[in-house]
Amino acid sequence: MPGLLLGDEFPNFEAETTIGRIKFHDFLGSSWGILFSHPRDFTPVCTTELACAAKISDQFKKRGVKMIALSIDSVEDHRNWSKDVMSFNSEAESALPFPIIADDKRELAVLLGMLDPDERDKDGMPLTARCVFVVGPDKKLKLSILYPATTGRNFDEILRVIDSLQLTAQKKVATPVDWKPGDKVMVIPSLSEAEAAALFPNGVTTKEVPSGKKYLRYTQL
Ligand code: BEZ
């Protein structure tokens, strides 16, 4: 199945959405972007996910990330489902704060390698998996995560990853397990000791390990 690799330019697809027809790169402009797909409208897990994404949409905005969802139903279904989603959030009067792509012909699902072979509709057609694509301002794929239809995503983790992506796009650091903004970061292995000392004025501390190798280098930004 075709798919995308990290660093690939994200396809500049055209699609119908709940805000009209878009060209993806124009939709993104110079922003970061997140595209998250759903198996189907009017399904329980998808509804909880869209509701969560809507609730924390200001967190994406704060990070300069444009949001867009996708599922394999029509614009009309998406518009009706959006009302359920906002009602689930007890915000029935508000509009869903991001558009949904109508991939009812599954063209994007195939192009982006999003079909889940284990989940099928009543006609035996495969549904979309829960993909997350984060695209940088250079339109290149920075992150992809693929969940099966039966497992809902954790949008706090997605925000955490975006914080790491945005930081490591600017600085020669990597973020360790469970890192959160403000925590110490790790110096990337390709930097020499002298380069690290010059780049990180707060100093670099190295954790001693039995191998004697000095690769566990931390700094506070
Ligand atoms: C759901 O969103 O609840 C769902 C969709 C497709 C398969 C399983 C669960």
The CATH number that applies at residue 188 is 3.30.1020.10
* Same domain, residue pair 105 and 210: no
Q: Tell me, in angstroms, the distance from the centre of ligand 1 to residue 125's CA.
A: 14
Residue 144 in contact with residue 53, Cβ under 8 Å?
Answer: no
DSSP letters, 110-124, are: HHTT-EEEEEE-TTS
* Same domain, residue pair 133 and 193: no
Tokens in use for 132? 């997350």
Task: Count Cα neighbours of 117 within 13 Å in the Cβ-side half-sphere.
Answer: 2
Of 46, 112, 141, 159, which is the active-site residue?
46
**Position 192 in a domain:** yes
According to the model, what pLDDT value does residue 30 have? Answer: 98
**Position 160 in a domain:** no
Question: Rounded to an integer, what distance in angstroms lies between the CA atom of residue 133 and that of residue 86?
Answer: 23
Residue 40 in contact with residue 73, Cβ under 8 Å?
Answer: yes
According to the model, what pLDDT value does residue 215 have? Answer: 96
User: Which atom of ligand 1 is least distant from the CA of 38?
Assistant: 2
* Same domain, residue pair 194 and 143: no
Question: Rounded to an integer, what distance in angstroms lies between the CA atom of residue 89 and that of residue 91?
Answer: 5
According to the model, what pLDDT value does residue 3 have? Answer: 74
Residue 69 in contact with residue 77, Cβ under 8 Å?
Answer: no
Q: Is 131 a catalytic residue?
A: no
Question: Rounded to an integer, what distance in angstroms lies between the CA atom of residue 118 and that of residue 143?
Answer: 23
**Position 166 in a domain:** no
Which of helix, strand or coil describes residue 213?
coil
* Same domain, residue pair 138 and 192: no
According to the model, what pLDDT value does residue 44 have? Answer: 97
Question: Rounded to an integer, what distance in angstroms lies between the CA atom of residue 191 and that of residue 197?
Answer: 10
> Which domain covers residue 181, as residue numbers?
171-219
Q: What is the residue-level pLDDT of the chain in tens, covering all 221 positions?
A: 457 999 999 999 999 999 999 999 999 999 999 999 999 999 999 999 999 999 999 999 999 999 999 999 999 999 999 999 999 999 999 999 999 999 999 999 999 999 888 889 899 998 999 999 999 999 999 999 999 999 999 999 999 999 999 999 999 999 999 999 999 999 999 999 999 999 999 999 999 999 999 999 999 99
DSSP letters, 6-70, are: TTSBPP--EEEEBTEEEEHHHHHTTSEEEEEE-S-TT-HHHHHHHHHHHHTHHHHHHTTEEEEEE
**How do residues 114-158 score in pLDDT, each as one tens digit?**
988 888 989 999 899 999 999 999 999 999 999 999 999 999 999
According to the model, what pLDDT value does residue 14 have? Answer: 97
* Same domain, residue pair 18 and 116: yes
Beta bridge partners, 67, equal 34
* Same domain, residue pair 149 and 189: no
**Position 162 in a domain:** no
Atom 7 of ligand 1: nearest residue by CA position: 149
* Same domain, residue pair 116 and 195: no
According to the model, what pLDDT value does residue 2 have? Answer: 57
* Same domain, residue pair 33 and 131: yes
Residue 10 in contact with residue 136, Cβ under 8 Å?
Answer: no
Residue 152 in contact with residue 143, Cβ under 8 Å?
Answer: no
Q: Tell me, in angstroms, the distance from the centre of ligand 1 to residue 127's CA.
A: 9
In CATH, what number is assigned to the domain containing residue 24? 3.40.30.10
* Same domain, residue pair 132 and 36: yes
Tokens in use for 83? 């009302």
Atom 9 of ligand 1: nearest residue by CA position: 150
**Where does ligand 1 bind, in terms of residues with CB under 6 Å?**
39-40, 43-46, 119, 127, 149-150
Question: Rounded to an integer, what distance in angstroms lies between the CA atom of residue 154 and that of residue 167?
Answer: 20
Q: Tell me, in angstroms, the distance from the centre of ligand 1 to residue 47's CA.
A: 9
* Same domain, residue pair 72 and 142: yes
**Position 187 in a domain:** yes
Q: Tell me, in angstroms, the distance from the centre of ligand 1 to residue 151's CA.
A: 8
Number of folded domains that form the chain: 2
According to the model, what pLDDT value does residue 92 have? Answer: 96
